[in-house]
Amino acid sequence: MTDLRNVIVVGGGTSGWLSATYLASSFKKTGRNIKVTLIESANIPTIGVGEGTFPTIVNTLYEIGLSEKDFLASCDASFKQGALFKNWLHDPQERTHGYYHPFEPPEMPKGIDLSAYWVKRKKAGTMSHDFSHATCVQAQLCDHNLAPKTTETPEFSWLAKYAYHLDAAKLGKVLQKHGTEKLNIEHIFADIEDVNIDNDGYIASITSNEGKTFLADFFVDCTGFRSLLLGKALTVPFVSQSQYLSVDSAVTLQVSYEKDDSPIATHTISTAQEAGWIWDISLQSRRGTGYVYSSKHTTPERAEAVLKAYHNIDADTDISLRHIHFDVGYREKSWYKNCCAIGFSSGFVEPLEATAIAMVEAGVRSLAARFPQHRAAMDIRQQQYNEIFVSRWKNIIDFIKLHYCLSKRKDTAFWQEHTSSKTLPASLKARLEAWKYYGITDGDLPYKYDLFTLASWQYILYGLEFLPDYVESAPLPDTLIDKAFESIQIKGSNAKKQLKNNRDLIQNYL
């Protein structure tokens, strides 16, 4: 049997270059003599919507071999410690509301699980703090836009868990430079026109519009929503999830800071709107914003007006806006034969919890860990991979839907549909039915490959005031629980004295 020796990544941007650099780095570390080539078109612009990331990105960039300081400087990046969800629970005309999903899990002072006691006290009316502020210091850091580390903290290390806000287009360029200069990735510009399939159904080669043919043993499809290899050539079906999540469009706008010393928010701000929500992400030099909406419930023109209103821009003002449309769902198989799709070519859901780049990371990590020695080992490897990713996608759909279905909003047709039990996945419906009576536990989330852990589910459930009838907790004295909750507030007060704000830290760190 002949070993696999050549991998071609088709498509650039963040997904292409992250896949290529991670694979090349992995092959180098494990001593596998496999050549990685990336082929991209010079004529197809990258989508570049993924300006928010997940904490896994920190270790990914470290493993690839980047310098954190160089990355921050080159990608206009800032530190991200979670997300703030505004007006998801109530119609803001009636009542404003907000809650955090921090990256740090709820703290356990002296081993005490505060989440259970918070639920009990909230139900009894004796708890004034929301869940994230009561159980996690990081919510207080976000309130004051404080950084998650100091200038003395080593690269890719933290005092509070973080990810990044970044310019996705610039990240692609940084990875390209690192990949070609440090990891011996061959970079070719070509417009791929044909995919040539052999008698066994594997991809034998790809051909450019100029007639040049490229041979490889394995292909990674990073062609975005086109899914040129996996979807078009290998005809792997797309599994739509629009029956659960109808948000399928976005209009984006980049805005400058009002002043040079304007705060850099250390969290993504996600503000619910009449037919979707607006993201607001703070980079070093600007803010990236966008209205993600359901084309079933509004028009592009109305979406533009809503985004302009968010920025206090007159609806008639002529400004440069960018529109994007996407299909919600995932491929039935992300890996088929000798082709693995990573990024948008594999699947996509609205960017509510920064899953886009996180799923690129997860995809290439899983591929590198299971990359076959030869074709004979490919079937079992891809079976494992696909089982993991179908489960991951289903759990992501459930988790994103959770943000909508617990809302009390009924002010528009969009919110009426998204809070209807008719649009609930059966898996989420069963979970919520169980959690209504008994608080969520680790045992309810047994799949170790899921992106979102128990803490993430707790922050959304309790942030949206979904309180179970019963939670299990040890019979500890109230005075001990009082001190445990008080310790969180004290730690937050101390952190405010010790940590710089996000802008000051970045300026001093670089």
Q: Report H helices in 51-129.
A: 56-64, 68-74, 114-124
Tell me the three state secondary structure of residue 253: strand
| Beta-strand runs (E) in 346-420 | 347-348
Q: Report H helices in 65-189.
A: 68-74, 114-124, 131-135, 137-143, 168-182
Dihedral of alpha carbons 83, 84, 89, 92, sign:
negative
User: 69: annotated binding-site residue?
Assistant: no
Pair type for strands 6-10 and 329-331: unpaired
CA–CA gap between residue 186 and residue 52 (Å, rounded): 28
80 is catalytic: yes
- DSSP symbols for 290-341: EEEE-TTT--HHHHHHHHHHHTT--TT-----EEEE---EEES-SEETTEEE
Pair type for strands 35-40 and 186-189: parallel
- DSSP symbols for 205-244: EEEETTS-EEE-SEEEE--GGG-IIIIIIS-PPEEE-TTT
Of the listed 28, 35, 80, 483, which one is catalytic?
Answer: 80
Other CB atoms within 10 A of residue 95 CB: 10
The angle formed by the CA atoms of residues 241, 243 and 247, to the nearest 5 degrees, is 75
User: 357: annotated binding-site residue?
Assistant: yes
User: 210: annotated binding-site residue?
Assistant: no
Residues assigned a catalytic role:
80
- Binding-site positions for L-tryptophan read 353
- Binding-site positions for 7-chloro-L-tryptophan read 80
- Binding-site positions for FAD read 357
- Binding-site positions read 80, 353, 357
